[in-house]
Amino acid sequence: MQVATGKSILNGIAIGKIKVYRAPETVISDRQIDDVEAEMARFEEARQKAIAQQNALYEKALAEAGEETAAVFEVHGMMLDDDDLVDAIREIIAKQRRTAEYAVRTACDNQAKIFAEMDDPYMQARSADIDDIGQSMLDFLTGADPNSLQGTEPSILVAKDLAPSETVRLDKSLLLGFVTREGSTNSHTAILARSMNIPALVQCGDVSADWDGKMAIIDGYNSCIYVDPTDDLFRSLKKKQEEDQAGVALLQELKGKDNTTIDGRTVKVYANIGGPSDIGAVQQNDAGGVGLFRTEFVYLNSRQEPGEEEQFEAYRHVLESLAPKQVIIRTCDIGADKTIDYMKLDHEDNPALGYRAIRICLTRKEFFKKQLRALLRASAYGNMGIMFPMIISVRELREAKEILAECRAELEAEGVKIGQYEIGTMIETPAAVLIADDLAKECDFFSIGTNDLTQYTCAIDRQNAKLEPFSDTHHPAVLREIQMTVEAGHRHGTWVGICGELGADTTLTETFLRMGVDELSVNPKSVLPLRKTIRGLNLSQNE
Ligand code: PEP
Ligand code: MG
């Protein structure tokens, strides 16, 4: 087996035989010409045909990938009409008395180079669009056949690069996925692949012509391609692919639909995420928002403590990408099972009951303030909720809010714009449940962390596999605590969600809705199965 890595465009799996595509070299004749007028006419004819072709591609992309994605071909049409480019080509033909092919190639190469040298990665990626329209005109000038990319069998296409127009022209029934040596994740080719749901890798430096005809698996989740995979790997990725396909079918059926029961009760279904890389999963699974952004992954992914700026960028990116959807960001929940070297936490005999989460934040104020400042700054870019973990007393919640207010005052004095946000408390301990009435007066929402709530209620270490026979995820004590929390929250106008694993347990969905739970936040893949369950419930019928 051979493994090659690249940059993944879509979290998906493609399995099939490889077809290596070698683009035919376009031979450019750069001889001197005598008849400038005839050459100008050849160029104009090719340009008009290229414009017509881009219009046809627009229609095809519109049907297959939607308006937003198809717009690239509208832009290509405009590029083909752009005075700067057209004049540059005409000037080469007229002044240098060169062929239309030579003039198109030279002028397009010059413009593509200008884009490629820009600082902004998005603008850099536009150079591929110039190459694409240039190639389209060259195909018409040289009489090349641009439709000869695919074979007759469904396959994984491997190529040096693919232009957006090549990608949209591909017959989707024959395309399982593609891998390119070049390309970028910002390119229109990547955008097209994503919206057509095609697993693909770009910048995969190790692609080889020897792969032609071999069996392969693109693993978009891990940004790699396995050529001649082992049987075990084949079986496990095949299973993952089938799960994905079931999810896609559910998406077709339920995307855009409400999370409303037959008798009209609506509940929010949000997703749990670990960072900006999960934004796509939230969107693809049509979650209503983010109910838990576990920010400790921002800390765990860094070799040193992430600064205010780095954190601000991560939070801003998530908020902005998902706006106007609500994104509830949990402050750092380090400790217990999540240890980090640079935090220099002492060894503890009982870490789950130890120095963790809000306890660290309240005693390392400067550390905490960095995160709170980053969050407040990011609040201007979307619809944010801030949530404090492992709260066991009103004093802790008040102290956290005071530090937040201190950061706010500092930022306002600096003239920084701050948006609206809600403040929430995680309910993860029996202590929090028992004082939920008092906590509810201090915040806008509760989010019940059933993973820790079960651990602390039942005294079952969630990390200890040996305790599995003793563990009851539906323990009546935990269910009663959820009921108590909802009632306490509602008595004070505080809405209540569940963000622990239990929220995704569809055998309990009816129970939670009957209790009055307002929101369920689950891993992105569970959003649609949960929606399906909710839509099948009728709470007006007797239990
Ligand atoms: C929980 O405890 O249920 C929870 C959501 O937090 P975490 O799993 O991150 O501890
Ligand atoms: Mg927890």
- CATH number of the domain enclosing 100: 1.10.274.10
Contact 191, 69 (CB under 8 A): yes
Regarding whether 60 and 77 lie in a shared domain, the answer is yes
Q: Is the pLDDT of residue 157 over 90?
A: yes
pLDDT at res. 525: 83
Regarding whether 120 and 72 lie in a shared domain, the answer is yes
Pick the last residue of a domain from 120, 142, 164. Answer: 142
Task: Give a yes or no: residue 249 inside a domain.
Answer: no
pLDDT at res. 138: 94
- pLDDT of 118-132, one tens digit each? 887 778 888 889 999
Q: Is the pLDDT of residue 147 over 70?
A: no
pLDDT at res. 167: 85
Section 86-103 average pLDDT: 95
Chain centroid to Cα 427, Å, comes to 28
Regarding whether 228 and 317 lie in a shared domain, the answer is no
Regarding whether 292 and 171 lie in a shared domain, the answer is no
Read off the pLDDT band of 188 (50, 70, 90).
Answer: confident
Residue nearest to atom 4 of ligand 1 (CA): 449
Pick the last residue of a domain from 212, 233, 254. Answer: 233
Regarding whether 185 and 126 lie in a shared domain, the answer is no
Locate all alpha helices (DSSP H) within 117-226, ordered by sequence: 121-125, 127-142, 164-169, 188-195
Which CA distances in Å does 64 have to 129, 163, 172, 191, 264?
Answer: 20, 17, 9, 13, 34
Strand partners, 270: 521
Let me know if 438 is exposed, middle or buried by CB neighbors in 10 A (0-12, 13-18, 19+): middle
Does 499 qualify as catalytic in the annotation?
yes
What is the rounded distance in angstroms from the CA atom of residue 483 to the CA atom of residue 100?
76
Regarding whether 468 and 401 lie in a shared domain, the answer is yes
CB atoms within 10 A of CB 256: 6
What is the rounded distance in angstroms from the CA atom of residue 273 to the CA atom of residue 292?
6
* Ligand 1 midpoint to CA 341 (Å): 21
pLDDT at res. 72: 87
Q: Is the pLDDT of residue 66 over 80?
A: no
Task: Give a yes or no: residue 274 inside a domain.
Answer: yes
Residue with the larger pLDDT of the pair 542 and 351: 351
Q: Is 333 in the pocket of ligand 1 (CB under 6 A)?
A: yes
* Ligand 1 midpoint to CA 394 (Å): 20
Contact 287, 251 (CB under 8 A): no
**Domain span including residue 49:** 36-142
Regarding whether 154 and 99 lie in a shared domain, the answer is no
Packing angle, helices 36-65 and 127-142, rounded to 10: 120
What is the rounded distance in angstroms from the CA atom of residue 309 to the CA atom of residue 195?
31
Backbone angles phi, psi at 388, to 5 degrees: -100, 130
Let me know if 156 is exposed, middle or buried by CB neighbors in 10 A (0-12, 13-18, 19+): buried
Ligand 1 pocket test, candidate residues 292, 356, 387, 428, most atoms within 8 A of CB: 428
Task: Give a yes or no: residue 126 inside a domain.
Answer: yes
Q: Which ligand has an atom closest to residue 449 CA?
A: 1
Task: Give a yes or no: residue 305 inside a domain.
Answer: yes
Regarding whether 155 and 111 lie in a shared domain, the answer is no
Which of 387, 195, 191, 436 lies closest to 289, judged by CA?
Answer: 387
76, 188, 224, 443: the active-site residue: 188
Q: Is 166 in the pocket of ligand 1 (CB under 6 A)?
A: no
Contact 57, 67 (CB under 8 A): no
Section 324-346 average pLDDT: 89
Read off the pLDDT band of 28 (50, 70, 90).
Answer: confident
DSSP labels, 136-149: HHHHHHHT--TT-S
Q: Is 482 in the pocket of ligand 1 (CB under 6 A)?
A: no
Regarding whether 92 and 216 lie in a shared domain, the answer is no
Regarding whether 344 and 289 lie in a shared domain, the answer is yes
Section 181-189 average pLDDT: 82
DSSP labels, 218-261: EETTTTEEEES--HHHHHHHHHHHHHHHHHHHHHHHHTT---B-
Q: How far apart are the first and last CA of the chain?
A: 55
Pick the last residue of a domain from 72, 107, 142. Answer: 142
pTM score above 0.75 = no
Task: Give a yes or no: residue 194 inside a domain.
Answer: yes
Regarding whether 99 and 49 lie in a shared domain, the answer is yes
pLDDT at res. 112: 94
Does 188 qualify as catalytic in the annotation?
yes
| CATH number of the domain encompassing residue 453 | 3.20.20.60
Q: Check residue 346 and report its DSSP letter.
A: P
Task: Please state which of the ranges 54-58, 189-193, 420-424, 436-440 shows the lowest mean pLDDT.
Answer: 189-193
Percent helix, strand, coil in the chain, to 5, is 50, 15, 30
